[in-house]
Amino acid sequence: MEKNLNLFKTQIQDDINIIKKEWDYVDENLIKDEYAFNYWILSRIYSLDEEIIPEYITEYNDKGVDCYVHYEENKELFLIQNKYYNVDTSVTRKEVSDFLGTPLATLKSNKYKKSNDLQDIFNKIKDDKEYKIYLHFYATTNKKSEDIDDLIKNFNNLDHGLACLVDSKYFGLSDLFELYYGKNYKENINFKFDLGTVNKGTFMSLREEYGIEGLYEAYYIITPVCEIYKMLLAAEKKEYSIFENNIREFLGKNSINTGIIETLRSTTERKNFMYYNNGITVICKAVKPCPQMTSGERKIQLYNPQIVNGCQTVSSIKNVLDNVGSNFEKEYKNVYVVLKTLVIKDYENEEDKRFYENVVRFTNKQNAISEKVFATNKNNDIFIRMQDEFFKRGFVLLVKPSDNYKYKEKLTRVEKADLVQKANVFIDNIDYGINTYSDICISLEKMLQVFLALIKTGYVAFTKKNLVLDANKEYYTKYCSNIHQYLTYDTMIKLYYFYKKAEHEQKKLSEDKRTPIPYYMIGFLGDLIGDKTPENLKESLDILFGDKTICTEAYKYLSTICKFYRNTYEMQHKADGTSDYNVMIKRPIDEVCLKFAINNADAVEGWENVKRWRKL
């Protein structure tokens, strides 16, 4: 089915309305849709928490940087401009040209005044060869001046006088659709590509030519990188998703590699590309070598190829050749890469399916972001089971980025109303009102953050969001992927809405708009439980959530601890200049301040139910 871009634009507006409703107390500029679009980009595309977004917005509605994102561990800096336009509005060449020219020049001259933090970051990274600076231009329209693509290409081919890589990209509404949903909805498209190789010696069949039996049908092909580029262009033209679904979801986040790009751009080094590179792994339905040479080269027919490894190689090849122009084939005909091609004919066969999944997983072991995508993949039994059980209780667990769209379209108005009614009954003891369909939708990542706050601390939950679905990190392997071994589905949901109640009070009811601190409340709850074994958690949380009186009093008690903690922290850290709320929430829990806060809360009269719950 075709992308429904009008519906998607409505979806963006719906999201913006939610952002404005939930976060207008933080930022008065959110009254303007074009400003709120910065929040949408940073939260939906770059996964920043809304609470910290204001410090990453520099300006809007001009030719400069609207906002930025700095991934220090990945050595990536994104300079972003956003245009929240009607779908019929066209982006002009001048708008893009100004963005490509002005911010970078200002930063290089050390005269950027809109954000001291951004200027400082730029100054620190500009001489680091491992860093990448991306200029990303987003627009909620597909209409644009015809020469914008050439403008981007020319910019990417320039020497910007920096040691780090500088790269730009333009994203229209269709591109935003792909980034937002993270998948292609065009199903069952067949694609065949005649891949060129030099001669018989650059094509090796493990079975036929080497007689190695007992293996899956496999081929090793040495092919010019321009052939890979042509295959990508052909797949795009047919709207065939050539990247395996797992790989494709993180490819959209940007997966180019500075070293690969530098090698391909170098007229002296590109001849050695094959020796420097690990190659590309492709799984096909069939591979059929053509018996005759065609136009001086041999052709290998690949049927429904899926690139499962070598994402950085492929996307970097495309990045470079996109900017070469019509002479790409001539310039890169003698630059080679190795293709490992496996044939799996029946994905429905259990053995073949398992082999396919293992090839994807094990050939991407070094790629942390790919493991994050694996964690939320449709074949992950833990989270899909969780999703099914949540739905039975009246809640929609959003496991994959596309789930929000899928459930919103699938459920009728009556079905949504029924779920809301069921959900309200389910969490009655929490005393948190569920009014709309959006109130029953639970982000898996957000829920795992809440769980991490309970198991570790509120500080860990707040600062390690990017690790809760990173399959290479302990937070995922030890805790998040095993959440079902710590909590029942009922407790997961109730814990989440206990958190949501604190979040609602902080945003809408508290005088200072700061307390209670939701993640801290859950973390303090974990501290009060003590030893966080599954048995202790079950016993304590069953009592807490099983009685409305106890739950209500415990909530007030934890809220009181939060207020005392903040006040105590401010007094204790005023001298060293770290007492500000925004600084505090980015620092580890001060155990001395917490102990003092709990003692102060205990001194308040009237916690009889809490004392029974804590067995004091």
**Was domain 5-180 assigned CATH 3.10.20?**
no
Q: Splitting the chain (616 residues) into consecutive groups of 10 residues, what average pLDDT does each group show?
A: 69 82 84 94 85 87 85 88 94 95 93 92 94 95 95 95 94 87 48 85 67 74 93 89 58 61 92 90 87 70 89 88 90 92 80 74 56 51 77 88 78 94 93 93 94 94 86 84 83 94 86 84 94 87 93 95 92 86 86 94 91 80
Strand order in the sheet with 286-294: 192-197, 297-303, 286-294
N- to C-terminal Cα distance for the chain? 61
Say what the pLDDT of residue 184 is. Answer: 27
User: What tokens appear for 450 in the block?
Assistant: 């809440």
CA–centroid distance for 353 within its chain: 26
Token readout for 444 is 């898996």
Structure token pair of residue 565: 């903690």
User: What is the predicted pLDDT for the residue at 366?
Assistant: 55
| All CATH 3.40.91 domain ranges in the chain, comma separated | 5-180
List, as own/partner pairs, every contact residues 593-601 make where C-beta atoms lie below 8 angstroms and the sequence separation is at least 24, other chains included: 593/565, 593/568, 593/569, 594/524, 594/527, 594/561, 594/565, 596/564, 596/568, 597/561, 597/562, 597/564, 597/565, 597/568, 598/524, 598/528, 598/561, 598/564, 600/564, 600/568, 601/557, 601/560, 601/561, 601/564
Which pLDDT score is estimated for 401?
Answer: 67
Q: Omega of the bond prior to 518 within 30 degrees of 0, cis?
A: no
Looking at the DSSP assignment, which residues form a beta bridge with residue 76? Answer: 71, 132
- Tell me, what's the pLDDT at 181? 59
